[in-house]
Amino acid sequence: MVSLDQQWVSRVGPAAAEQLARANAYRRTGGIFGLLFVVLEIAFQLDDYNRPGITASAALFFAGMFCLFYSQRPFAAARRLIAEQVGLPPKQAKYIPVARGGVADFDRWYAARGKPGWPVKGWR
């Protein structure tokens, strides 16, 4: 089970917070796989070009890319849940900041309601 960040639960609810926790776990795993791939590639290159090791470590690259790209699905699901909660049309859910700036960006975005251009711009 993925641990839920209580800051997100209090702002967006448990369902969206669970999706955000799942997306962050996938993204973190993809980053770790990517770093491991780079370290192993360098190590195998220095070890007189160990061809099977280089080929095998390439699987980490593909697994890392899969995790990084797959993390977008739970982020999108969380955005849809938050848009429903806030009362935004589903097409505007893509403007909800949940991936990069975390809780601070979300709070800034949510506090800018009513400003011209919200939810797309005018909140930064």
Does residue 11 belong to any structural domain of this protein? Answer: yes
Does residue 85 belong to any structural domain of this protein? Answer: yes
The total number of structural domains in the chain stands at: 1
Does residue 1 belong to any structural domain of this protein? Answer: no
Does residue 35 belong to any structural domain of this protein? Answer: yes
pLDDT of 42: 85
- Give dist(CA 12, CA 24) in Å, integer: 16
Does residue 38 belong to any structural domain of this protein? Answer: yes
> Could you tell me the pTM of the whole model?
0.85
pLDDT of 14: 92
Phi, psi angles (nearest 5°) of residue 2: -85, 135
pLDDT of 1: 47
Numbers of helices and strands, H then E, in the chain: 5, 0
Considering only CA atoms, give the Rg of the chain: 19
Does residue 79 belong to any structural domain of this protein? Answer: yes
**DSSP letters along 29-87, please?**
HHHHHHHHHHHHHHHHHHTT--HHHHHHHHHHHHHHHHHHHHTHHHHHHHHHHHHHHHT
- Which residues of the chain fall short of a pLDDT of 70? 1-4, 47, 49-50, 122-124
Does residue 120 belong to any structural domain of this protein? Answer: no
- CB < 8 Å & 24+ apart, contacts of 114-119: 119/88, 119/92, 119/95
Q: How many CB atoms lie within 10 A of CB 27?
A: 19
Does residue 86 belong to any structural domain of this protein? Answer: yes
- Segments forming the whole domain that contains residue 83: 6-111
